[in-house]
């Protein structure tokens, strides 16, 4: 069964003299930057327990030639443990979901002094009770980098799905991306404005009139950014700051700037609940959880 279930009493039946309860099934959507699976011992049980119907995950590692659990990412002084088969691990704890991996680049991670080819990108997991009736995949910055992760700002992808929600007799289209990272911060740049327009274009490609439209991801911009203005001008409502949340980061993030992740919808009236989850800490980003 998908989502959460609520029951409400209907008016008394004039013929039978009893009340009929109707079950309302909610669709749960989660968006999370997974930080390369660094905290997977906490992340995997959390995702398994919450079991979102649609799970949008960024910073996903996929190393199909390695059986190791952990490898190391090295970029100058930036050294970070990576869950070698993060995509496989999440797929295993969501066995009733269709799992789709969208690589942005293939570079190398390290097993001590041995290099291991490893792909990096984002993934979408959709519960099998929500048939996927449309998809779009592409790049909001650069193109696929087949040999090396590349110089910053690196290739960035986006993925969109359109699903049919039988319980509510509607279609939902959802598109997510992992936005550009810049050494100097989260300021507006021409490249970030262009990625916002491309993200919106991907959403429009996968959506049809009447859909519930969701756009989300780790955008790596501030709340007053041009990125959010572009999406807002298209009729999308941003829920993180719009509902008073003051951060999408947690104690694992030591830098200034407490926002990175956003979720927008075209029809706020269908939002049953929305939360930025600070506990448990499963990444240096907070999960965004939407119920429709």
List, for residues 19-78, the tens digit of each pLDDT value: 433 346 899 999 999 999 999 999 999 999 999 999 999 999 999 999 999 999 998 888
d(CA 216, CA 263): 4
**pLDDT value, residue 182:** 87
Query: DSSP assignment, residue 179?
Result: P
**pLDDT value, residue 24:** 62
Partners of 110 in the β-ladder = 72, 115
List, for residues 215-240, the tens digit of each pLDDT value: 999 999 999 999 999 999 999 999 99
Q: What angle do CA 216, 221, 225 make, to 5 degrees?
A: 100
Q: Return the domain boundaries, the chain.
A: 26-291
pTM of the model: 0.92
Q: Residue 182, exposed/middle/buried by CB under 10 A (0-12, 13-18, 19+)?
A: middle
d(CA 292, CA 268): 9
d(CA 262, CA 255): 18
Q: What angle do CA 93, 206, 197 make, to 5 degrees?
A: 105
d(CA 132, CA 206): 11
For residue 78, give both structure tokens: 């930036």
Which superfamily does 26-291 belong to?
A: Endonuclease/exonuclease/phosphatase (3.60.10.10)
**pLDDT value, residue 15:** 42
Residue ranges of the chain with pLDDT lower than 50? Answer: 1-2, 4-23
Percentage of the chain with pLDDT > 90?
86
């Amino acid at each position: 069964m998908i989502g959460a279930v609520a029951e409400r009493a209907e008016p008394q039946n004039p013929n039978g003299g009893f009340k009929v309860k109707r079950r309302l099934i909610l669709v749960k959507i989660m968006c999370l930057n997974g930080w390369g699976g660094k905290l997977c011992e906490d992340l995997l049980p959390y995702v398994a327990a919450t079991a979102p119907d649609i799970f949008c995950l960024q910073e996903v590692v996929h190393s199909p030639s390695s059986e190791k659990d952990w490898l190391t990412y090295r970029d100058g002084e930036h050294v970070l443990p990576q869950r070698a088969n993060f995509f496989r691990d999440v797929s295993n704890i969501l066995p009733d979901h269709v799992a789709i991996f969208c690589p942005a680049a293939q570079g190398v991670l390290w097993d001590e002094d041995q290099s291991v080819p490893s792909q990096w990108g984002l993934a979408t997991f959709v519960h099998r009770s929500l048939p996927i009736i449309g998809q779009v995949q592409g790049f909001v910055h650069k193109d696929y980098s087949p040999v090396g992760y590349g110089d910053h700002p690196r290739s960035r992808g986006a993925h969109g799905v359109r699903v049919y929600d039988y319980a509510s007799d509607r279609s939902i289209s959802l598109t997510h991306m992992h936005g550009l990272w810049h050494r100097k911060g989260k300021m507006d740049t021409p490249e970030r404005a262009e990625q916002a327009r491309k993200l919106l274009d991907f959403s429009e490609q996968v959506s049809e009139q009447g859909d519930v439209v969701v756009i989300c991801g780790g955008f790596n911009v501030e709340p007053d950014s041009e990125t959010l203005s572009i999406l807002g001008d298209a009729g999308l409502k941003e829920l993180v700051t719009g509902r008073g949340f003051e951060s999408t980061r947690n104690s694992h993030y030591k830098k200034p700037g407490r926002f990175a992740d956003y979720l927008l919808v075209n029809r706020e009236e269908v939002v049953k609940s929305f939360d930025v989850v600070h506990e448990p800490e499963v990444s240096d980003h907070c999960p965004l959880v939407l119920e429709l």
